[in-house]
Structure 1
Amino acid sequence: MSTLTLREAPPERLDFFSISPLALSGLTPAEAERLEVGTSRRGVKLGDCFAVSLDGSDSLTIEGGHERLDRVGASLSGGTIRVDGDVGQRLGAGMASGTLTVTGHAGPYAASGATGGTITIEGDAGDYAGGAVYAAKAGLDGATLIVRGRAGDHCGDRMRRGLILVGQAGAHAGARMIAGTIAALDVGDLPGYGMRRGTLVTGKHGTLSPTFVETGSHDLVFLRLLGKHLRAVSEAHAALLDRPLRRYSGDLATLAKGEIWVAG
Structure 2
Amino acid sequence: MSGVSLKPRATLEARVDLSGITPAVTCPLTLRELEGLSVPYGAKSVPLAELFFIEGAPEGVLLIEIGDSRLDGVGAGMLEGELIVDGVVGAWAGRGMGGGVLRIAGDAGDFLGAELSGGRIELAGNAGAHAGGATSGSRRGMSGGVLKIGGNAGPRAAERQRGGLIVIGGDAGEGLATDMIAGTASVGGTIGPLMGRGMKRGTVFTRTVPELPAGFVDTGEQELVALQLLARRVPELKAVIGQSTRARRLVGDTLLGGQGELLVPA
TM-score interval for Structure 1 and Structure 2 normalised by the shorter chain: over 0.9
Deviation at 1:172, TM superposition (A): 0.9
Deviation at 1:237, TM superposition (A): 2.6
For residues 215 and 206 of structure 1, the distance between their equivalents in structure 2, rounded to whole angstroms, comes to 15
- Which residue matches 2:204? 200
Of 151, 176, 181, the residue aligned with 1:178 is: 181
For residues 65 and 50 of structure 2, the distance between their equivalents in structure 1, rounded to whole angstroms, comes to 15
**1:167-216 Cα distance to aligned partner (Å, 9 max, x none):** 22111111110100001122111111110110011012431111100011
Of 12, 15, 21, the residue aligned with 2:14 is: 12
**Structure 1: gaps (5+ residues):** none
After TM superposition, the structure 1 = structure 2 runs for residues 21-32 of structure 1, keeping only pairs within 5 Å, are 21-32=23-34
Q: Conserved in 1, the CA contact under 8 Å of 2:27 and 2:61?
A: no
Deviation at 1:38, TM superposition (A): 1.8
For residues 42 and 112 of structure 1, the distance between their equivalents in structure 2, rounded to whole angstroms, comes to 25
TM-score by length of 1: 0.93
Of 177, 181, 195, the residue aligned with 1:191 is: 195
For residues 204 and 154 of structure 2, the distance between their equivalents in structure 1, rounded to whole angstroms, comes to 16
Deviation at 1:225, TM superposition (A): 1.9
- The one-letter code of the counterpart of 2:95 is A
Deviation at 1:4, TM superposition (A): 0.8
Deviation at 1:61, TM superposition (A): 1.0
TM-score by length of 2: 0.93
Deviation at 1:243, TM superposition (A): 4.5
SS at match of 1:81: strand
**1:45-101 Cα distance to aligned partner (Å, 9 max, x none):** 321221111468311111001111111111211110010000111111111111110
SS at match of 2:221: strand
For residues 123 and 230 of structure 1, the distance between their equivalents in structure 2, rounded to whole angstroms, comes to 22
Q: Indicate yes or no: 2:158 matched with 1:148.
A: no
Q: Conserved in 1, the CA contact under 8 Å of 2:26 and 2:62?
A: no
Of 78, 81, 85, the residue aligned with 1:79 is: 81
For residues 150 and 230 of structure 1, the distance between their equivalents in structure 2, rounded to whole angstroms, comes to 21
Q: Conserved in 2, the CA contact under 8 Å of 1:227 and 1:237?
A: no
SS at match of 2:138: coil
Deviation at 1:37, TM superposition (A): 1.5
Q: Conserved in 1, the CA contact under 8 Å of 2:226 and 2:245?
A: no
After TM superposition, the structure 1 = structure 2 runs for residues 15-54 of structure 1, keeping only pairs within 5 Å, are 15-54=17-56
Q: Conserved in 2, the CA contact under 8 Å of 1:21 and 1:57?
A: no
For residues 133 and 105 of structure 1, the distance between their equivalents in structure 2, rounded to whole angstroms, comes to 19
- The one-letter code of the counterpart of 1:67 is S
For residues 9 and 234 of structure 1, the distance between their equivalents in structure 2, rounded to whole angstroms, comes to 39
Q: Indicate yes or no: 2:102 matched with 1:100.
A: yes
Count of aligned positions: 262
- The one-letter code of the counterpart of 1:28 is T
Q: Conserved in 2, the CA contact under 8 Å of 1:25 and 1:54?
A: no
Of 217, 229, 232, the residue aligned with 2:221 is: 217
**Structure 2: gaps (5+ residues):** none
- Which residue matches 1:263? 265
Off by >3 Å, runs of 4+ in structure 1: 39-42
Distance 1:201 1:125, change over 3 A: same
Deviation at 1:40, TM superposition (A): 3.7
Deviation at 1:117, TM superposition (A): 0.5
